[in-house]
Amino acid sequence: MPHPRVRYIGSRELHRDLPKVLESLEDSSARFVLTIHSKPKAVLIGAEAFLGLLRGHTPEDRLLALQLGALVQGLEASTSPDELSEADDELREGLVAAGV
C-alpha cells in the first residue's frame, strides 16, 4: 500500500501554484502541509481524502497525524532530513507493531 505523499508548501508558493496544487489533490494520497515562516499552519487534502477520513482512519493518516503532532510541538526543528526519514521509518514500524 503506497504511503501518502506529503509535501511542505509555503504560503507564497501556494498562492503562486494554487491551480497545480488543487490538481494534485485529485490524487487521494496527496497531502500538503501549509507553512508560514517555516511553521506548519494547515494540512491540505483533497475532497476524496477528506471523505475517506470521515469514513475511517487509515494507518497512513495516523502516521501523518503523528508527524504533524511532532512538527507542531517543534520536535523536528533541529532534525536533519536523514534523521526525519529514519524517524518516519520508526513511526511506520511502531504503527505496524501496534496494529494501527
pLDDT at 23 over 70: yes
Q: Give the residue, 81 or 67, on which the prediction is more confident.
A: 67
pTM of the model: 0.56
How far is 34 from 48, CA to CA, in rounded Å? Answer: 19
Domain count, the chain: 1
Q: Which three cell numbers stand for residue 24?
A: 494534485
88: CATH: 3.40.1620.10
Residue-range definition of the domain harbouring residue 17: 5-98
Contact 30, 45 (CB under 8 A): yes
pLDDT at 52 over 70: yes
Residue type for position 7 = R
Quickly state the pLDDT bin for 100 (edges 50, 70, 90).
very low
